[in-house]
Structure 1
Amino acid sequence: MLKDLYVEMTLYQERMHRKSKKKFRDYLHTKAQELNLPYQIVPESWFSKNVFIGSIDTAEYILSAHYDTPPRMPPFLVKNVITYNIIIMAMIVVLIGLSIIFSIHPFLTSLIIFLFVGYNFGFPAISNKYNLNDNTSGVLTLLYLMQRIKTPKVAFVFFDNEEKGLFGSLGFARYLRKKKLNYQLRKYINFDCVGRGNVFSLDHFNRPQLALRIKSVFDRLQITGYECQVRKARARELSDHFAFIKNSHVGIFALKNHNNKLVINDIHSHRDRQIDLNNIFILSKVIETFINQEGGNNGTAPQKTQ
């Protein structure tokens, strides 16, 4: 089942441009129909088109992942996500400093910064065709869980334009508040870059309760070869769970231990060509068991990838 989904996703590797996004949304529509699940774009927006699958009225748990893909960047710049973000900020500061020192016209400086930042966020940019970890891995997790979890209390949302600045998830959060759809009572679980690394990081913004409950399930399943930790999220590692900062939320990542540092390597570049499907299987089993447990059922220990 999971391997079949992986093969299907090879047809939708680039999801940055409007046409490729539309093609992928059509695929999601087909998958929703196969599972007899409601499908809608929430909210209806020209700029960002989030795909919501399930019942928006009954969902207690909203599982999410962004489906858009980033622009291509040089591998040496994006070897480490945190380092990359620091470099970007430093380059902007340097540009401003040089403009002051050499009396460069402010308009020219602003234009250079605009083009630089715009490319970084994928506006006028070259698409990257290799996105297995960021974030085909999160999309595969949702697709697999859609087939595993059969309850109206769980819904799935594929966010658009995370790479451009969390526009999709922030728009979705505003929609829930505006429509008064029990925004504050739901639990939000987001998957981003979960395809490489054997340390699952459960990130939160000063609301650790949901992350701790999920970790307790991971610990109880006694999964060998993997670790799980709860971390306080940092602003320089933002993902779509930030949109639900005032609610019960968790952002899940898979990290690699490199020189005693936990990192996400090789995303946003042509090197993002590897994915461990067992990561998806293990993580999905943990989440499925957690949701069953919350409903009064017990999970079972995960086996090898099917």
Structure 2
Amino acid sequence: MEKIETMRKQLLDVFPIRKTAAQKQAFREWLTRSLRKMGYPVEVETYGMGTNNVIAGRPETAELVFTAHYDTGPRGIGFVSPTNLLLSVLIPVATVLLMAAAAFVLSVLPTFLMDAPGATVPLFVALMFFGLWMMVRGPANPNNANSNTSGVLAVLSIAQALPKPLRKHVAFVFFDNSEAGMAGASKYKKKHSAEIGSQVFFNFDCVGDGDYILLMPSKKSRWDGQLLDNLEQCYQPVGEKVVKQTIEGLVYYPSDHRKFAFHVAVGAFHRKKGVGYYLSRIHTPKDTELDETNIMLLRDGTVRLIEAYYNEKTGDEKHADL
């Protein structure tokens, strides 16, 4: 069995950037081989427009689906706080306003010096367009350990550790183009619309940097008391790690799980008084932390969760037979 450290090294050293078509293709080939070695049937679903999801297991019969996006993004804003919506909005807005101020100065100054006031507005628009394009489609971020190599590693580790009798209840999906409007999740939802209504999606995104592991059920999932009990019982803290469910109040975490009504988003965060739970290094060159303890905690907890679900399922079936 391939160790977490070995898979971690492969992801960080061989496939650190997965942004261009060629980089993604090379990664998918490795990912497909790895999953098949674990004994899973694997399919690459191609939807056009450069979106390709990798699926292990049988999603048409799975009741639990475990996901992570494998694409990596450009350099950009590196702050997310799922429990502090105000800061999550203010920081991107402040960034755009600063960019607008810089574009204003860079458009007014040269046109004033050249006595060409008519060129100010077109130059300002061009500079703003370029700045926004750089934020969305610009040069690849060189380090992506947490976003979202950590999620890929977590899902791979779960798939590897899961005993064969438990595999018939689950599927693993690696989404493409999450950084481009969650395109992979949208395409998957459309193609698999017949079965997703009865499934719960567990999405692992940015789980490698932070001592606070948040399990964030959707509003509809919060009504499932058995699911909440399983989350509390199966995911146990390790050392200084804290595991917490967010089942009250507004929680906003922008990732692929938002495409599915029944979901549990999983992330790892830092915590600071006055800020709350936050990520601050994603999409920046400082995104270099991938804590294996987080991965092992999530791997072991998820295997226990699937086992609990399996026991409930087989117990119900035995009861029905009586």
Q: Structure 1 length as normaliser, TM-score?
A: 0.82
Cα 1:170/1:6, change in 2 over 3 Å: same
Counterpart for residue 194 of structure 1:
207
Contact 1:67 1:158 in 2 (8 A): yes
Q: Give 1:134 deviation, angstroms.
A: 0.6
Task: Work out the CA distance in 1 between the residues paired with 2:187 and 2:216.
Answer: 21
Q: Give 1:137 deviation, angstroms.
A: 0.5
Structure 1 position 5 matched with structure 2 position 21: no
Counterpart for residue 177 of structure 2:
161
2:311 match: secondary structure: coil
Between stretches 255-264 and 83-92, larger displacement belongs to 83-92
Counterpart for residue 39 of structure 1:
42
2:48 match: secondary structure: coil
Equivalent of residue 292 in structure 2, options 269, 272, 277: 277
1:165-196 Cα distance to aligned partner (Å, 9 max, x none):
2111111111112xxx3221111110000011
Task: Name the amino acid aligned to 1:5.
Answer: M
Counterpart for residue 80 of structure 2:
81
Q: Give 1:268 deviation, angstroms.
A: 0.7
Task: Name the amino acid aligned to 1:62.
Answer: V
Structure 1: gaps (5+ residues) = 298-306
1:275-298 Cα distance to aligned partner (Å, 9 max, x none):
11010110111111111101117x
Point out the structure with max Rg over C-alpha.
2
Between stretches 140-149 and 28-37, larger displacement belongs to 28-37
Contact 1:39 1:51 in 2 (8 A): yes
Structure 1 position 242 matched with structure 2 position 241: no
Q: Give 1:87 deviation, angstroms.
A: 3.5
Q: Give 1:256 deviation, angstroms.
A: 0.9
Task: Work out the CA distance in 1 between the residues paired with 2:179 and 2:206.
Answer: 13
Task: Work out the CA distance in 2 between the residues paired with 1:29 and 1:16.
Answer: 18
Task: Name the amino acid aligned to 2:134.
Answer: Y
Counterpart for residue 256 of structure 1:
270
Q: Give 1:154 deviation, angstroms.
A: 0.8
Task: Work out the CA distance in 2 between the residues paired with 1:227 and 1:212.
Answer: 18
Q: Structure 2 length as normaliser, TM-score?
A: 0.78
Task: Work out the CA distance in 2 between the residues paired with 1:264 and 1:148.
Answer: 28
Q: Give 1:113 deviation, angstroms.
A: 3.5
Structure 2: gaps (5+ residues) = 82-86, 109-117, 313-322
Cα 1:146/1:234, change in 2 over 3 Å: same
Note the 1:1-306 alignment, pairs <5 A: 1-10=3-12, 11-73=14-76, 78=78, 80-82=79-81, 83=87, 86-92=90-96, 95=100, 108-121=123-136, 123=137, 125-149=138-162, 150=164, 151-177=167-193, 181-209=194-222, 213=226, 216-217=229-230, 219-220=232-233, 222-224=236-238, 225=240, 226-231=242-247, 234-235=251-252, 237-244=253-260, 247-260=261-274, 261-296=276-311
Q: Aligned-pair RMSD on alpha carbons?
A: 2.9
Percent identity at matched positions?
26
